[in-house]
Chains A and B, each alone.
Chain A
């Protein structure tokens, strides 16, 4: 597919887009918590990938190259804007209902029974909120590891970080997520018992 794209095969370009648009957009959306902005960054990411396809070196895994470009786009934006702790229910910086809607994560229906859906959505929402609380570099690592399923070595390569640092970030991110979820669980129990 990549070899065909390098030869200018438009079908291969479309295939790359079809295969990566959702994971790249989802990563960017979770990183910047703004749908319109995530779309802009995803568009820039793919333009960069497809226009630069000839510079892609096959010794690097293609998906790693794609996510490296996407993650750099998100991190560059976050460094410029310092938007790093935004709630599932919209950015605290949002000053109008439109901005609040634009910065609220939109969780789609997953086709479960009503009770399962409520439970899954509650837990999914809690995890999304917890991820939103992480430092951007922890957030990248945990999303690339657990949502995208990349190996530690691939993540180190993507983020230009030593392997040990990636392991540390993922370890700390998991602990922070677990602490956040436990705190939330305890608060819910206290509220129900009150």
Chain B
């Protein structure tokens, strides 16, 4: 079972052109901001929207081929789709919801009830088959939606922001369960999300889509370590500094100079983790080779650390502890010195 797709859609301001392949048992995350075209991509894969151009093939069966004018509608595809809001049919019980796909395939009542029951059991909803969707919590509804999608043993599983409607605590548990079910799922999975944590936790590979184009592709670890666009860098919490490598220094496009620990040449990115940045009120003495004056533009509290947005010749994000932040007496507009060890700066080609 495998998916190979190239999808071209032009809709108003959106010009989507995305190609992707997903192997057996593999999970591909499509990560991108709102309006990037991720959901349109998913709707095309689902057969809910014919592409303007391109081709979608699953397990050797052609679902879409613009050149050959082939378009298999959604109900002719071996699919499972989980939407952001579980979208359980409100007029059916949980059991009937899960059995819906089997019913459409003409599975006898007794068999489909047994199968649906077993799936409810698998997603931790045993005994709730007679409930109405309105009686479920958000997490339960999303688990049921997953069971409803998987019960037909589809070749392709599509997940459209499956966790973003859940509250933070529920999201954690459902994400862990989803990970387990995806590991058991033999078909190809495409996960659309704007949350990098979902992509990192659930996907084998990630493509980042911005403005309808893939801007970066790789394993979650690669994306996490070496972001290539500001959007991805912000998502993974890195400061991304484009510049030109000159030996052990990088001359930034924005003006500053960054000392690095390895030789760099040509157009490169220098990436700095917020926790590698230290802040001082006066210029520190000693060894760090990267010392820059900066202005605190904003600060937000994340747990026990304060994330500080710095402006200056080298724009950075710094994480300092709440205590340190208070001791320094920082407030937006404050003038500070930021230091980063050369060995803490990641350098990679643009």
Q: Do A and B come from the same complex?
A: no
Interface of B with A (CB < 8 Å)? none
